[in-house]
Structure 1
Amino acid sequence: MLQSTTNDFYFAAVGDVHGQMQNMVKLLSKWESRLGIKLAFVLQVGDFEPHRHEADLSTMSAPTKYKKLGDFPDYYSEKKFFPWPIYFIGGNHEPYGFLEQFPKGQKIINNCYYLGRVSSNIIKGLNVVGLSGIYQKDKFHSLRPHFLEIYTKSNKEYIYFNEDDIAQAIDYKNADILLLHDCPSEIVNPSIIAEIIGFSIKYGDEIGNEFARMLVDLLLPKVVLCGHIHYKHYTHIVTSDNRKIEIYCLADINKGDAAIELFRVTPDGEIQKVLVD
Structure 2
Amino acid sequence: MLVLGDAHASDPDRRESLLAHYRRLEPEHVLQVGDLECYELPVPTWFVAGNNEEFDTIEALRNGETTGTRSVHLLASTAATIEGVRVAGLSGNYAPTKYDLPRSELSGGRRRHFTHEDVERAASLSDVDVFLTHEAPTGLLSYGYDPGCEHVDDLLEALSPELCLVGHHHRHREAEIAGTRVVSLAPAWERYYELDPEALALESHEVDSSE
After TM superposition, the score normalised by the length of structure 2 is 0.84
Pair 1:103–1:24, CA change in 2 (3 A): same
Quick one: which of 67, 77, 90 aligns to 2:49?
90
CA distance in 2, matches of 1:275, 1:229: 16
Residues 179-209 of structure 1: per-residue CA shift (max 9 Å, x gap): 1001111222x4xx24xxxxxxxxxx32120
Matched, 1:121 2:74: no
List alignment gaps of at least 5 residues for structure 1. Answer: 1-10, 33-37, 51-71, 76-80, 195-204, 240-244
List alignment gaps of at least 5 residues for structure 2. Answer: 207-211
Residues 108-137 of structure 1: per-residue CA shift (max 9 Å, x gap): 63322223x321111222111111001111
Match of 1:265 in 2: 197
Match of 1:202 in 2: none
Match of 1:172 in 2: 125
Equivalent position SS for 1:47: coil
Pair 1:162–1:169, CA change in 2 (3 A): same
Contact 2:92 / 2:134 at 8 angstroms: preserved in 1? yes
Matched, 1:16 2:6: yes
Contact 1:106 / 1:113 at 8 angstroms: preserved in 2? no
Match of 1:6 in 2: none
Give 1:210's aligned amino acid. E
Match of 1:251 in 2: 186
Instruction: Considering fraction of residues, name the structure with more helix.
Output: 1
Q: For residue 98 of structure 1, report the CA deviation from its aligned partner.
A: 2.1
Instruction: Considering fraction of residues, name the structure with more strand.
Output: 2
Quick one: which of 32, 36, 42 aligns to 1:48?
36
Matched, 1:102 2:61: yes
Pair 1:118–1:275, CA change in 2 (3 A): closer
CA distance in 2, matches of 1:207, 1:276: 25
Contact 1:120 / 1:128 at 8 angstroms: preserved in 2? yes
Equivalent position SS for 1:90: coil
Give 1:88's aligned amino acid. F
Pair 1:161–1:13, CA change in 2 (3 A): same
CA distance in 1, matches of 2:100, 2:178: 31
Pair 1:107–1:175, CA change in 2 (3 A): farther
Across the two proteins, how many residue pairs are aligned to each other?
201
